[in-house]
Amino acid sequence: MITYALFSQIRFLHEQGLSARQIARELKLGRLTVRRWLQRDQFQPRARSPRPSKLDPWRGELLRLLHLHPYSAQQLFQQLQARGYTGSYSILKRFVRQVRPKAQPAFLTLQFAPGECAQVDGGFAGLMPVGATRRRVSFFVMVQQLEARHLNARHHARHILALSELYGVEPVQRALDDAIHYQAFNAQYIANLLQQRQRQLPEPGALHLTRASDLLELDLPTPDLSVYEPKDGGAA
């Protein structure tokens, strides 16, 4: 293969007066190769024809899945492997990086009647003295939604279909049943249900108070034990 550096050497030796035969002997190249490159005024690299890849039959399916849901390259690799893909992960990853749709701002368009929903935000207002200790004061603010919004049904349907590929059909069906029962018609609610049901919570343990300030300081009167003293003439 003739590189730009080798082409420059051929031109340089030719300008020094060497013949094609001498240049070929000097650079250990074929005489016809030297003559062919001497006929060119500038370097022209050979155009490479794309080689067939094991990923070629799957390119259309990858594009479809990427437009359906923002899968990672690893998730797509596992899905295609289960369906018969035998190519490497690196080829798939490079292709996904090239064709992945640009990320759009995430949003969900919901619809509520006036007074049906509210936005709640919490906060921290400092510490308050309580007896001999100080307690954390937390608060929340709730704002009712009074503006009517429209439901993008197609967006939610596509999102739910993508969730069924991630979590399976039966878990999604169970989440849909719960959503219909509670009249929560949006994909985000179903996604939250699926995430919560897959999360493994730690086993509850005993409560241990390690600071003296966590203990309640109570002033208790001295107990009256006279009721336990023997009466006159009675048995001890």
Q: Counting Cβ atoms within 10 Å, is residue 190 exposed (0-12), middle (13-18) or buried (19+)? A: buried
What are the boundaries of each domain within the chain?
4-38, 56-99, 113-148, 149-199
Tell me the three state secondary structure of residue 88. Answer: coil
Cα separations in angstroms, 202 against 61, 192, 199: 40, 19, 10
The one-digit pLDDT tens for each residue of the chain (236 residues) are: 778 788 888 888 888 888 888 888 888 888 888 888 888 878 777 766 667 888 889 988 898 888 888 889 999 999 999 999 999 999 999 999 888 877 666 666 666 666 667 777 877 777 888 878 888 888 777 766 554 444 567 777 888 888 888 888 888 888 888 888 877 767 888 888 888 888 776 776 666 655 655 556 667 788 888 877 877 655 54
Q: Where are the beta strands (DSSP E) in 47-171?
A: 117-130, 133-145
